């Protein structure tokens, strides 16, 4: 196996076809495959590829010191490396680790207006305010947010073809149950995905070896790498407090409520001491934040409490790696997880929703008698999404769908280890088809 096929591959091909393409910034968490994907596209598409990494090749930070005219920048690059060539219309300039050179963003206007050379930038955006890059290049760049592998990309890695996945989608759209073989095999694939997560290094090792050997060690090394990045890039904020929050997420997810509370991160902790810490982790792509709605009604983004939230790991495999040594095996064999099973399934569903472009929202009333894991929407209604890790009842889902108190809710969705179905109130969808949810809700409304 040479490399993992990624969705960004198709995006980059379409970007290149646009005659009026803008300089592109590919952003996302560290070690999710940004550089490898861009490099693969560049080498197969362009006659000349000029790759500059501002972390490794620090001297190149000065190429903008004499101004932002394209010829001036290229002249300075050539002084550092006279072997580089820049044939017009056949050159891609790839600026990697842009977070270490803000001036690079300012140059994108000049490259866009010049039009002789294509430019792609990449960066983790850890430790910098993305608004600074935004203000330096507004109107002259296009953004693409990249994540670790989603479940569809994982299926590609295992060898499943697009037409096989499309057949699953057609059955979902028609509310037709899957065959026993389809259901059981996909459920097993999904358990593998939950155990491994989508970090390319972990998935690549699993696919090549055809076993889990070494994958836990890789997950844990990635966790340590993220902690090292926090201490390196978290400027102006207490790194120790960011690490406090990052390390405590698994413990809060294990609680019945799952609400993240700064006051319980450590004894005597106060909210004012942790200002900006959660936002830093979210902006760095390390965690996903899920806000509590004030009331189950639309609009989602105008109806939530910014001080009441849950935090999830951006990659469920990293959450597994943060738990006991035996958690991988427990999840594979569906044993010993007890109440934490629900946390793992919530985390992976939250991850799946974010990778489709959703923001995360939940609801829990003050008495705790009504709560819902997530909410999404279609063109006309608010849709509660309940994640069931077992066969327990769906009291809250039934209440939200049936009660006249929630007029924005017309139907609900239950994600579970159950086949496709509809009981007149909510759709049951197996976990492993949740990655199709946004397309499903859009196209279901057109039928």
- The tens digit of pLDDT for each residue in 192-233 reads 999 999 999 999 999 999 999 999 999 999 999 999 888 888
pLDDT of amino acid 273? 83
Q: How confident is the model at residue 69 (pLDDT cuts 50, 70, 90)?
A: very high
Beta bridge partners of 377: 382
**Residue range 305-334: mean pLDDT, rounded:** 85
At residue 329, does pLDDT exceed 80?
A: no
So what's the pLDDT on residue 1?
58
Say yes or no to pLDDT of 447 above 60: no
- Place 342 in a pLDDT band, splitting at 50, 70 and 90: confident
How far is Cα 44 from Cα 337, in angstroms, rounded to an integer?
A: 46
Q: 231: left (phi > 0), else alpha (psi -120 to 50), else beta?
A: alpha
Residue from 439, 300, 282, 441 nearest 374 by CA: 300
Q: What is the mean pLDDT of residues 31-57?
A: 96
Q: Give pLDDT, residue 125.
A: 65
Number of residues in the chain = 447
Residue 418's H or E segment, with its range, is none
Rounded Cα gap, residues 189 and 186, in angstroms:
5
Q: Binning pLDDT at 50, 70 and 90, where does residue 378 land? A: very high
pLDDT at 133 over 80: no
What beta strand segments (E) does 331-408 contain?
A: 360-364, 371-372, 374-377, 382-387
Q: Which residue has the tokens 């300012």?
A: 106
pLDDT higher at 94 or 277: 94
Judge whether residue 62 has pLDDT over 60: yes
> Residue 339 has what pLDDT?
65
pLDDT of 155 higher than 60: yes
pLDDT of 126 > 90? The answer is no
Interatomic CA distance for residues 341 and 174, integer angstroms: 30
The pLDDT value recorded for residue 81 is 96
CA dihedral sign of residues 295, 310, 144, 123: positive
Query: Which region among 133-137, 251-255, 330-334, 383-387 has the lowest average model confidence (pLDDT)?
Result: 133-137
Given a cut of 80, is residue 326 above it in pLDDT?
Answer: no
β-bridge pairing 426-430 and 421-422: antiparallel
pLDDT in tens, 388-436: 987 777 899 999 999 999 999 999 999 999 999 999 999 999 999 999 9
| CB-based burial label for 172 (10 Å; 0-12, 13-18, 19+) | buried
């Amino acid at each position: 196996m040479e490399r993992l096929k990624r969705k960004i591959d198709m995006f980059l091909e379409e970007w290149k076809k646009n005659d009026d393409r803008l300089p592109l910034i590919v952003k996302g968490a560290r070690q999710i495959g940004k550089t490898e994907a861009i490099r693969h596209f560049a080498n197969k598409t362009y006659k000349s590829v000029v790759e500059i990494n501002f972390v490794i090749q620090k001297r190149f930070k000065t190429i903008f010191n004499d101004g932002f005219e394209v010829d001036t920048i290229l002249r300075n690059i050539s002084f550092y490396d006279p072997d580089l060539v820049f044939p017009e219309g056949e050159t891609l300039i790839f600026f990697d680790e842009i977070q270490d050179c803000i001036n690079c963003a300012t140059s994108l206007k000049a490259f866009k207006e010049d039009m002789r050379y294509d430019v792609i930038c990449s960066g983790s955006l850890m430790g910098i305010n993305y608004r600074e890059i935004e203000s330096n290049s507004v109107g002259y760049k296009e953004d693409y947010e990249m994540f670790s592998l989603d479940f569809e990309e994982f299926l590609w890695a295992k060898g499943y073809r697009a037409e096989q996945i499309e057949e699953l989608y057609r059955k979902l759209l028609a509310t037709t149950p899957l065959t026993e073989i389809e259901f059981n095999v996909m459920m097993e694939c999904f358990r593998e995905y939950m155990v491994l997560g989508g970090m390319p290094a972990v998935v690549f090792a699993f696919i090549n070896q055809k076993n889990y050997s070494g994958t836990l060690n890789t997950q844990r090394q990635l966790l340590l790498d993220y902690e090292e990045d926090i201490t390196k890039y978290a400027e102006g904020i207490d790194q120790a407090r960011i690490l406090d929050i990052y390390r405590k997420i698994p413990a809060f997810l294990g609680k019945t409520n799952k609400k993240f509370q700064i006051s319980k991160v450590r004894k005597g902790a106060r909210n004012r001491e942790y200002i900006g810490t959660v936002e830093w982790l979210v902006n760095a792509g390390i965690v996903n934040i899920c806000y509590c709605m004030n009331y189950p009604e639309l609009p989602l983004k105008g109806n939530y409490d910014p001080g009441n939230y849950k935090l999830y790991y951006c990659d469920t495999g990293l959450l597994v790696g943060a738990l006991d040594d035996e958690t991988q095996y427990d999840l594979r064999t569906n044993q010993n997880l007890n109440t934490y099973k629900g946390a793992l399934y919530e985390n992976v569903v939250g991850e799946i929703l974010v990778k489709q472009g959703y923001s995360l929202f939940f609801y829990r009333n003050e008495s705790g008698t009504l709560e819902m894991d997530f909410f999404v929407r279609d063109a006309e209604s608010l849709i509660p999404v309940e994640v069931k890790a077992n066969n327990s009842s769906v009291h809250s889902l039934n209440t939200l769908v049936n009660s006249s108190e929630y007029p924005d809710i017309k139907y609900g969705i239950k994600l579970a280890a159950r086949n496709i179905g509809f009981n007149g109130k909510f759709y049951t969808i197996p976990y492993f088809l949740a990655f199709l949810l946004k397309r499903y809700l859009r196209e279901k409304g057109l039928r």
